[in-house]
Structure 1
Amino acid sequence: MSSSNKKIFVLDTNVILHDSTCIHQFGEHDIVVPITVLEELDNFKKGNDSLNFHAREFSRTLDSLSGDKLFNGGVAIGHGLGKISIKLDPSFDESIAANFSSEKPDHHILNIGYQVAKEFSDRVVCLVTKDVNLRMKAKAVGLLAQDYKNDHVSDVQQLYTGTRIVEEVDPELITKMYMPPYEFPSGELKIEPPLLPNEYLILRGERKSALAVYDDELNLIKHVDKVPAFGITPRNAEQTYALDAILDENVHLVSLTGKAGTGKTLIALAGALKRKKSYRQILMARPIVALSNKDIGFLPGDIHSKLDPYMKPLFDNLGVIEHAQGDIKRNQVSKLVEDRKLVIEPLSYIRGRSLVNTFFIVDEAQNLTPHEIKTIITRAGEGTKIVFTGDIFQIDHPYLDSHSNGLSYLIEKMKGQRLYAHVNLTKGERSELADLAGSLL
């Protein structure tokens, strides 16, 4: 490819903090890193969160490539890849200075991108940023801009739901669902496209219906029973599926999606408590996405006071389960908390731990990046089960959306694996009022 056909991508800081390997994802095209980005990365090098990891990892990568040409023409990233260069901060172009303050780092990045585009007018120059406002500013001055799309899910409307309704099923097959051994060979059910492992079904005949799941290993369609767990009984088919996946000892990774009030977290916790004897500990965690993009240090009080608003929804679900129990079982739940057999903590407190024989529930997983999801799963030791819950259309993270969040990425990449099950819950069960508001408002 001639140099004029190679594009130039100018990277924003948030792209690197999202994926420290991003420079390997642009093929044969060249990359420019503004010096302002390196200055911003300095602020993230210390700490144990994923942002800190990415900042350090990217700095190490640059150091391994460093040479005189890094600031003068660029150095090759690797075989089949383009060059990377660091661009020093020039004086603001008149068009940028007339519209944007020089006090914001974003505007320095914008200025460098704008001037690179002027310098290489015969090439396509594109600013890559996860900041929507910066993309709009770039387009306002005629600079091409786009989101970082390497880990995007292309069509979330067609995302795997984990469930399927099968109409006009032979009544004899449905009858088999209610007679021992409560299953039949999957070959007897004609269905397209082919079923995926642990995919759930509603089988409908003329007069009867049955809930079922596909066992890929045994090539069987098995009946799914509605069973209670720690006083919580599923209220619809999707909750029944979700609880079945959570209780299935052969499934080690589960994701539950759905809007608020569908019972995702409650079902996950109830299932974990039902199977508590099989695990050393039950962990519940959620990422902290600070309000107004401010760190929790801005909140008043000690660390427990700061974290309480973020952890309260998890304790609320625990309270629902305790309320559903008699006095004896209610005391059991309290004892589990006291003995730290049931632990509720921010996700940042869990990072770095070895998860062995643990039932791990990660709530609000839509606020995690794909890399964070991967990091959590790869820490799973022997006998550990992980359940991710969240709503991919309700994201609080400033640089994630329904296409780029870790939960959508997980569903897209893991579907079809024998160790994985997914259920999308659609029916609100919090109350008739809440369901009505969710539908109309």
Structure 2
Amino acid sequence: MGDTDRKLFILDTNILLHEPHAIFSFQEHDVVIPMTVLEELDRIKDSKRDVARDARVAIRALEDLFRDATPDQISEGIPIIRQQEQSGTIAILADYQLQETIKAFADKAGDNRILNATLYLQNKRAPREVVLVTKDINMRLRAKGAGVRFVEDYRTDQLIDDVQYLTKGFQQCEGDFWQGIDQVESRTLGGRTLHTLSRAPFEPTFINQYVIDERSDFAGRVEDISPETVTIKDLSRERMMSRRAWDITPKNIYQGMAMDALLDPDIDLVILTGAAGSGKTLLAMASALEQSIERGMFDKIIVTRNTPDIGESIGFLPGTEEEKMMPWLAAITDTLEALHKNDHCTEGSLKYICDKANIQFKSINFMRGRSIQNAFVLLDECQNLTASQIKTIITRCGEGTKIVCSGNLAQIDSPYLTPVTSGLTYMVERFKNFEGSANIHLNGVVRSRLAEFAEENL
């Protein structure tokens, strides 16, 4: 299959479910797909799980590659042609012919066959590097325990090495903002005050990034970036903290920055990250109601979120699509109740508001293929989405639509996602230089002193 400089990558099923075209990501190296993986893809493609589509896409990609190949060529490996250039090769290994070498975990027959295939190729292809690629952490541990020398996670879609390097959407200057600034060119344009300063002290900087200082005096947002200078729009911290949306005012400067982005008609995508209880959903819903009912900017509010087992579970719940979604969207209904808790009749207010604002609760499964116009879209719990799922939803947004994506990277439920591979992390990194988006990490828990203590100490 080639010389010793080229590695041999064996792919687990979850790699092709996570990224159906992963087979094209290994450059000049060779890829092996065990027969077990094809059998598992076959089982999944006909299931009701939300990964069934990814399984079908992966199978079609393999079928396109092997369409004209003979059985001998398939077992030896055929060239992968990508963008009219040959990279490595891809082969299918009939791993059911191998003698069983690992007898532990008999209930995991598929995993054992993949481990056997890896050990078989490791011995047969020595001294070449044979690498098992899997997103299953336990599978990686078992492989190392079974004697597999090289085991890796699939990191091609990983944009940062550690979530601590993820941009927070704002930067805080030490002391007074104006201290140490030698040259500034200020001008007023249409009621807005803009300051043009040297870019160097603000590096790394991105468009729509907020700038605050420790003295609690200055607050601004990056409006324009040139190779040498940066232009900051002066927002006035006092004015930002007194902004009101549906009778909600910011409780801290982080919420103030979030509300500024949520109420800005020039920003189409707002990404809110932060701990549980930092106010992500409350601010988003308050801004949605304010702009839909009071200002008439949107025709409807669409609320959707990922539910890990929704593909199988939603059908067994009674009622319409919206009624089926209610158990998963309780966080939104709780927020609506909190916004109207002082009304004479909370239940009556909620019904009136849901009708007047045209609030629709939708399953993420039914978002594909739609074109959403003049709507405020709230995508909750984004940390459980992959990059391709987020792309599916964002590409639905048409003219006059604003989308808010919120999530907490410390609360990932998906078995194959980590904070660095979550679609939320991917989106923050990809959109940080886009002038139509803003990202704010909300520090501090404002839900209650109990929630704040639990967040810090548990």
TM-score (norm 2): 0.86
The verdict on how the C-alpha distance between 1:45 and 1:189 changes in structure 2, with shifts beyond 3 A counting, is closer
1: CA distance between counterparts of 2:265 and 2:344?
29
1: CA distance between counterparts of 2:297 and 2:116?
58
**Structure 1 residue 346, shift from structure 2 partner:** 2.6
1: CA distance between counterparts of 2:284 and 2:347?
18
Q: Give the 3-state SS of the residue equivalent to 2:301 in structure 1.
A: strand
For the Cα contact (< 8 Å) 1:70–1:84, is it kept in 2? no
Question: Is 1:13 aligned to residue 13 of structure 2?
Answer: yes
Alignment of 1:14-53 (within 5 A): 14-46=14-46, 51-53=51-53
For the Cα contact (< 8 Å) 1:34–1:89, is it kept in 2? yes
Q: Give the 3-state SS of the residue equivalent to 1:3 in structure 2.
A: coil
Give the aligned partner of residue 83 of structure 1: 89
**Structure 1 residue 148, shift from structure 2 partner:** 0.7
Q: Give the 3-state SS of the residue equivalent to 1:130 in structure 2.
A: coil
For the Cα contact (< 8 Å) 1:70–1:86, is it kept in 2? no
For the Cα contact (< 8 Å) 2:79–2:86, is it kept in 1? no
**Structure 1 residue 213, shift from structure 2 partner:** 1.5
Give the aligned partner of residue 283 of structure 2: 267
For the Cα contact (< 8 Å) 1:311–1:346, is it kept in 2? no
2: CA distance between counterparts of 1:192 and 1:211?
14
Question: Quick one: which of 74, 86, 102 aligns to 1:71?
Answer: 74
2: CA distance between counterparts of 1:430 and 1:374?
31
The verdict on how the C-alpha distance between 1:297 and 1:374 changes in structure 2, with shifts beyond 3 A counting, is closer
Structure 1 residues 356-384: Cα deviation after superposition (integer angstroms, max 9, x where no partner): 22211111100001111122112221121
Question: Quick one: which of 205, 208, 231 aligns to 1:219?
Answer: 231
Shifted more, 34-43 versus 157-166: the winner is: 34-43
Give the aligned partner of residue 235 of structure 1: 251
**Structure 1 residue 267, shift from structure 2 partner:** 0.7
| Number of positions where the alignment pairs a residue of Structure 1 with one of Structure 2 | 434
Give the aligned partner of residue 210 of structure 2: 200
The verdict on how the C-alpha distance between 1:103 and 1:366 changes in structure 2, with shifts beyond 3 A counting, is closer
**Structure 1 residue 46, shift from structure 2 partner:** 4.3
- Aligned AA for 2:260? D
The verdict on how the C-alpha distance between 1:137 and 1:306 changes in structure 2, with shifts beyond 3 A counting, is farther
**Structure 1 residue 386, shift from structure 2 partner:** 1.2
Q: Give the 3-state SS of the residue equivalent to 2:245 in structure 1.
A: coil
Give the aligned partner of residue 54 of structure 1: 54
- Aligned AA for 2:74? F
Question: Is 1:258 aligned to residue 282 of structure 2?
Answer: no
2: CA distance between counterparts of 1:372 and 1:201?
31
2: CA distance between counterparts of 1:102 and 1:161?
44
Gapped regions of structure 2 (runs ≥ 5): none
For the Cα contact (< 8 Å) 1:49–1:348, is it kept in 2? no
Structure 1 residues 90-148: Cα deviation after superposition (integer angstroms, max 9, x where no partner): 34545313x23165322222222222222212211111111111111111111121111
**Structure 1 residue 257, shift from structure 2 partner:** 0.4
- Aligned AA for 2:112? H
- Aligned AA for 2:5? N
For the Cα contact (< 8 Å) 2:266–2:436, is it kept in 1? yes
- Aligned AA for 1:34? P
The verdict on how the C-alpha distance between 1:103 and 1:140 changes in structure 2, with shifts beyond 3 A counting, is closer
Matched residues, percent identical? 34
For the Cα contact (< 8 Å) 2:337–2:346, is it kept in 1? no
- Aligned AA for 2:142? K
Question: Is 1:247 aligned to residue 263 of structure 2?
Answer: yes
Gapped regions of structure 1 (runs ≥ 5): none
For the Cα contact (< 8 Å) 2:35–2:96, is it kept in 1? no
The verdict on how the C-alpha distance between 1:81 and 1:425 changes in structure 2, with shifts beyond 3 A counting, is same
2: CA distance between counterparts of 1:157 and 1:365?
18
For the Cα contact (< 8 Å) 1:354–1:380, is it kept in 2? yes
Give the aligned partner of residue 137 of structure 1: 142
2: CA distance between counterparts of 1:415 and 1:119?
47
Q: Give the 3-state SS of the residue equivalent to 1:41 in structure 2.
A: helix
TM-score (norm 1): 0.89
Q: Give the 3-state SS of the residue equivalent to 1:289 in structure 2.
A: coil
1: CA distance between counterparts of 2:346 and 2:379?
24
2: CA distance between counterparts of 1:300 and 1:203?
50
For the Cα contact (< 8 Å) 2:325–2:361, is it kept in 1? no
Give the aligned partner of residue 120 of structure 1: 125
**Structure 1 residue 334, shift from structure 2 partner:** 2.5
Question: Is 1:169 aligned to residue 192 of structure 2?
Answer: no
The verdict on how the C-alpha distance between 1:194 and 1:400 changes in structure 2, with shifts beyond 3 A counting, is closer
